[in-house]
Structure 1
Amino acid sequence: MVERKKCTKAVNTSFVFSACLPLIFVTGPAAAQRDAPSEGGRVIGQVFDRVEPVVETGLHGFFQLLGNQPIAFILLVLTLGTLIGKLNVKGVSLGSTAGTLLVGVVLSMIAEAAYGITYSIPGILSSFMLLLFMYALGLKVGPQFFSGLRKGGLAFIGIGIIVWALNWIICYVGASWAGLAPGYATGLISGSYTITAILGVGQGALASGAYTPPSGMTIEEIGANMAAAYAISYVLSSIGIILLIRYLPRIFGRDAKADAILAEADYSGGATHPVPGAPGALTIGFSPYDLRAFVVTHDSLIGRNLSQLTSEFPQVPILRVVRDGAVLALSDETVLARDDIVTVRANVHDLILKEGELIGPESDNPLARNVPLEVADIHVGSHAVSGKTLKELASHGTGGIEVQALFRAGNEIPLGPKSMVTFGDVLRLTGPDIALKAAAKQLGGHAILPTMKSEVLYLALAMLVGYLVGIVTVNISGIPFSLGTSAGCILAGVGVSYFRSRNPEFGGPVHEGARSFLQDFGLNAFVAVLSANVGPKVITALGGDTILWLALIGTMGALLPPLIAFWVGIKFFGLNSIIADGATTGGRNSTPGLNAIIEESGSSVAAVPYPVSYALTTVLALIGGYLSMILS
């Protein structure tokens, strides 16, 4: 329905949204009741959402528009928050999440304080966005969580637990000792740990009824307390942790660059490839194998079919044949003719350089040389090849490919000609598509290639299972306990990535760009909605000396645990200072901190222990945040 209105007043402002708007779309439940005709008591609905008129001018009209159009508010907050988060002052930045929260809180506070406009956005939107974030995060840390626990050793795990436990004790006990109201402890843990998702599990505890606000307090007020504590402690800890991690070795009298050289020597061996299903798994790196094209001139090849040549030269298969300017469709019975151009791939030094003598002169024909190389994970599903070595497999028509990595039960194992392949292993191969398909057929699996396709089926099913598990509630002594939908979805993501690391055909692969988008957009959209709903309450929450307590407890919770954990790492575990620093910043979940120590030491070896403590404490921090809420 379109209603034309006559302009009733002049507008003198640069922001023109008023009652003079000539076109107003009307629909929605309220609009249907008010404007839609009815037949026999039945209300006829409309097609479009109602666009509420903006009757004020200037800034007042601007804030009224944001109140009438929540989607506009969310998009504006995401835009401005991301821009502010990118601002870098001497290597320090807020990040998009903190920037989004800051912008949303400020806008909603101004709307409430200056114009009496209270923003309210349905919570189902923020809840769903949070669950998307949790699932995507689970996909990210899942492979690290299980494989890293076995590879990293007890020292990395111990450092992570120390950081997490001390942070929880400082924030929770500190908030109780200072007499802070419910919600502040959870916000302090979230902000000092710079894990915004902890706010989500705190909100989940409130929404599920696991925690009931005391008499005189509302859920919105507790949410405001969490947001206020988070905002203050997040900013302070984000800056402080970068400086602390960078200079921890120097504080304890260690030379960061010298220790990094020693650590590189100690950690030069071992696994170097991401497990199947992990981000960056299907990436082609350097390879000594190369594609070469030759003109067939030797009589020993003319008139012979590809099946015969593959049997005689299994490690140097013919991947393409160009005849008279056209690419032939290959089969075992394809017969070579004089002046054909054939494309082969093998190790440059061992094989290909000799083939010119056997085949003929080398060719630069673009049709012959334009053979795309791909990388694929293949799950070994044939018992016939189980127990064979890589050398034996290469002698049975799987030439033209290179084995990049070999995984067994989610763990990378050393490679060599005598490395044995067993049923259930995963081989990561590089080569042309035709060679990969031939290898997959022999191994009894499918070539899992990089893809831009989404995995909606696995995402929806896994999130559904995680959600249902999260809402299961157990009453103990009259107190309802549940895992929570947020924790359920992150564990669903961990589970999917865990099974995928053992069999890449389990719903993979997930494009890292798509996974990263779900994680970033889901979290920031959740924060945008949260900021709109709790922003006005922050003014009340910051009354008296509360802000001082939040700053003090948040800073101590952010910096004291890493300091103690690093000391334990070098004194009791005997770790190299750079390795201890990497484990500490992982336990503290600070990627900017990791970048700081990498810059300070001039080496990336600090990243070796980072995934172990990071993955472990990501899960522990969410559980701790949930407990801090229900124990308030």
Structure 2
Amino acid sequence: MKQRQFHRSVRGGAWLAILMAALCIVAVVAMPAGAQASGGAGAGVEQLATSAEPAAGNVLELFKPVMETGLHGFFELLGSQPIVFLLLALAIGYPLGAASVAGISLGSTAGTLVSGVILSIIAKLAFDISYDIPTIVSSIFLLLFMYALGLRVGPQFFSGLRSGGKAFIVIGVIVWALNWIICVGGAKLVGMEPGYAAGMISGSYTITAVMGVAQGAVQSGAVQLPEGLSAAQVGANIATGYAISYILSSIGIILVIRYLPKLFGRDPVADAKVAEQEFSHGATHPVPGAPDSLVLGFSPYDLRAYRVEHEELIGKTVLDMFKQHPYAPILRVVRDGKILDQADDTEIRKGDIVTLRTKVHELILEEGEKIGPEVDDELARNIPLETADIRVGSHEIAGKTLDELGRTIGFGVQLTAMFRGGQEIPIGPNTDVRFGDVARLTGPDVSIQRIAKALGGRPILDSTVTEVTYMAIAMLAGYLVGILSITVAGIPLALGTSAGCMLAGIFVSYFRSRNPEFGGPVSEGARSFLQDIGLNMFVAVLAANVGPKVIDSFQGTTVAWVALIGTTAALLPVVVAYFVGLKMFGLNSVICDGACAGARNATPGLNAIADQSKSSVAAVPFPVTYALTTVLALIGGYVAMILS
């Protein structure tokens, strides 16, 4: 139930963001230039009245094409205001993706892609309007998606490499080799002109850089063109093969990756849980920095309030009581309807109301007899509880047992879990505490702050804010690594900026699992929203720009061959590789699916299986196969162009 509520809240946040963005656009456009530049308390009723008419005029000017020419004007508006196009594609795409026919649904990403392509095709066919949204917009959103995804899978990534590295490499090579054979062999078989094979490789793999490599081979003279065929015509062939294969494979791969486990008789949700358990090495709590790591959850401890009546308590301090009863500390003292400041030397008087937190059966059976009758006092019982991760930063603490620390500094907190080197460790009274360990504690803020000081650390609490500084630095580093390129035999080889940003997220998350102060805290709601909106905005920009190219490519019977060969090259190798990974290597069905998505460079497909399995564990092998096949696809595109 909590998971469903969480997903509803994320989707609700996306719709709210869309609505607010739309309102902001209208507000900015409607605002007079003078009002945008000026501000302050000096603007009175008269200024508002005089600005109302120009504001209305600006709004009318914006929608004038729509009012004058109806539907034609509406599509012109989408072209002049790209943000309106993107928001409309999202608004249509999300409910379209949620619609189910015979138990099959597109998902939000494919829904957004389809809705955007349809809008751009209608604009081109009906009104000869071509949309051209700057690619920097799509790049920014894609990088945000990849970074957010990396944050989600970081702690599991290296475990996945150790457990299935060889299988991931085999899957990547199978997908690449079959894709190349189908595209090049298919083009030779039906007698296509040079350029189509490389274009289909680029489109079916959704790697635009392959087009650049192929065109570079033509321009450098490495390709001997047949007589009567110009470099411009070859370039058009490459673009045609790319455009048709791209759009068909983009939609098809989302559905294939989404439903591969079910096609092979597997339950993706159940298998994802098994994979998460395997990569966590049997741990029962999320590592520091992971989603839901700071959720309060169920606790056998509870808060109760009692009126002090027993004479043996009167005159003792809060610290005296803690030494006598270390596992039932007094967290609050209420006297004459007022909360006393929390202090060790607070003296207890008769009639005070004291609040205790310990195990429920001890509160019910023991503490009441020792103190006095239980009371329902709002001031005494209203103590907010929090969960915090604290890294042990004091060498004086190292070597002591949990029992020792509990009796000396564990005032009012419950130890939920402990982590060492990013792995959860068993806890018991004799468990020793070491420098660098991370303790997950639950209790009131005053107690958490007290023990954090004693441990020499800083409490990391759940937050609704994304740590933007770490995110910007990490994405910058990942981007720079991604653009580094080496040229081998005229072929530029690079990791790619999107893979670089994903690795940046992985490393931030990995290091934060060892030190929660590194790059955190990051709200899971904010991370999930970045992942969701980032990919779908990227897809919406893509849809706007490729729609006209698809129309331009529909000429002659060659189109049918391009569609058939390109789609087969995009989907069949994935199914074969999935079979090999599942049956021959015994991979978990969801992990195998993630490896296939990376081998096909299918970022939307990865999002589809994450949605289908209710887990992001499929992203563990994704960067490995993604990086491998990106390099192979570039080499393959160059060779295909020469052989054609």
Query: How does the TM-score come out when normalised to structure 2?
Result: 0.77
Deviation at 1:83, TM superposition (A): 1.9
Q: CA distance change for structure 1 residues 69 and 349 in 2, over 3 Å: closer, same or farther? A: same
Matches within 5 A, 1:441-452: 441-452=453-464
**Which among 371, 377, 395 is matched to residue 407 of structure 2?**
395
SS at match of 2:388: strand
Q: Aligned partners of 1:472 and 1:402: how far apart in 2?
A: 48
* Deviates further, 324-333 or 173-182: 173-182
Tell me, yes or no, if the aligned pair for 1:376 and 1:449 is still in contact at 8 Å. yes
Structure (1 or 2) with the greater helix fraction? 2
Q: Aligned partners of 2:610 and 2:526: how far apart in 1?
A: 24
Q: CA distance change for structure 1 residues 249 and 458 in 2, over 3 Å: closer, same or farther? A: same
**Which among 58, 65, 85 is matched to residue 54 of structure 1?**
65
* Deviates further, 620-629 or 511-520: 620-629
SS at match of 1:391: helix
In structure 2, the residue matched to 1:246 is 262
In structure 1, the residue matched to 2:227 is none
Q: Aligned partners of 1:256 and 1:172: how far apart in 2?
A: 29
In structure 2, the residue matched to 1:86 is 98
- Is residue 2:341 matched to residue 1:301? no
Q: CA distance change for structure 1 residues 265 and 24 in 2, over 3 Å: closer, same or farther? A: closer
In structure 1, the residue matched to 2:216 is 212
In structure 2, the residue matched to 1:172 is 180
**Which among 534, 556, 571 is matched to residue 555 of structure 1?**
571
Q: CA distance change for structure 1 residues 167 and 519 in 2, over 3 Å: closer, same or farther? A: same
In structure 2, the residue matched to 1:126 is 138
Tell me, yes or no, if the aligned pair for 1:141 and 1:615 is still in contact at 8 Å. yes
Deviation at 1:593, TM superposition (A): 5.7
Q: CA distance change for structure 1 residues 239 and 625 in 2, over 3 Å: closer, same or farther? A: same
Residues 379-398 of structure 1 deviation map (CA, whole Å, 9 limit, x = unaligned) = 11011111222222111131
SS at match of 2:374: coil
Tell me, yes or no, if the aligned pair for 1:290 and 1:345 is still in contact at 8 Å. yes
**Which among 507, 510, 513 is matched to residue 522 of structure 2?**
510
Residues 130-165 of structure 1 deviation map (CA, whole Å, 9 limit, x = unaligned) = 222222122122122134545xxx3x4454444433
In structure 1, the residue matched to 2:54 is none
Query: How does the TM-score come out when normalised to structure 1?
Result: 0.78
Question: Once the two structures are aligned, what percentage of the paired residues are identical?
Answer: 47
Deviation at 1:249, TM superposition (A): 4.9
- State the AA in 2 paired with 1:212: G
Tell me, yes or no, if the aligned pair for 1:167 and 1:557 is still in contact at 8 Å. yes
Tell me, yes or no, if the aligned pair for 1:279 and 1:512 is still in contact at 8 Å. yes
Q: CA distance change for structure 1 residues 162 and 430 in 2, over 3 Å: closer, same or farther? A: farther
In structure 2, the residue matched to 1:319 is 331
Q: Aligned partners of 2:284 and 2:484: how far apart in 1?
A: 40
In structure 1, the residue matched to 2:390 is 378
Tell me, yes or no, if the aligned pair for 1:140 and 1:279 is still in contact at 8 Å. yes
Gaps of 5+ in 1: 1-22, 28-47, 190-198, 571-578, 599-603
Q: CA distance change for structure 1 residues 490 and 550 in 2, over 3 Å: closer, same or farther? A: same
In structure 2, the residue matched to 1:289 is 301
* Deviates further, 226-235 or 165-174: 226-235
Q: Aligned partners of 1:429 and 1:595: how far apart in 2?
A: 31
In structure 2, the residue matched to 1:348 is 360
In structure 2, the residue matched to 1:545 is 561
In structure 2, the residue matched to 1:138 is 150
**Which among 76, 101, 108 is matched to residue 64 of structure 1?**
76
- State the AA in 2 paired with 1:555: L
Deviation at 1:280, TM superposition (A): 1.5
Q: Aligned partners of 1:336 and 1:400: how far apart in 2?
A: 17
Deviation at 1:343, TM superposition (A): 1.1
In structure 2, the residue matched to 1:581 is 589
In structure 1, the residue matched to 2:633 is 628
SS at match of 2:386: strand
Tell me, yes or no, if the aligned pair for 1:317 and 1:397 is still in contact at 8 Å. no
- State the AA in 2 paired with 1:164: G
- Is residue 2:544 matched to residue 1:525? no
Q: Aligned partners of 2:333 and 2:214: how far apart in 1?
A: 68
Q: Aligned partners of 1:76 and 1:263: how far apart in 2?
A: 37
Matches within 5 A, 1:87-486: 87-149=99-161, 154=163, 156-179=164-187, 180-189=196-205, 199=206, 202-203=207-208, 212=216, 214=218, 215-216=231-232, 225-226=241-242, 228-241=244-257, 244-246=260-262, 248-249=264-265, 270-349=282-361, 353-486=365-498
Report the count of equivalent residues. 551
SS at match of 1:290: strand
Tell me, yes or no, if the aligned pair for 1:186 and 1:625 is still in contact at 8 Å. no
In structure 2, the residue matched to 1:601 is none
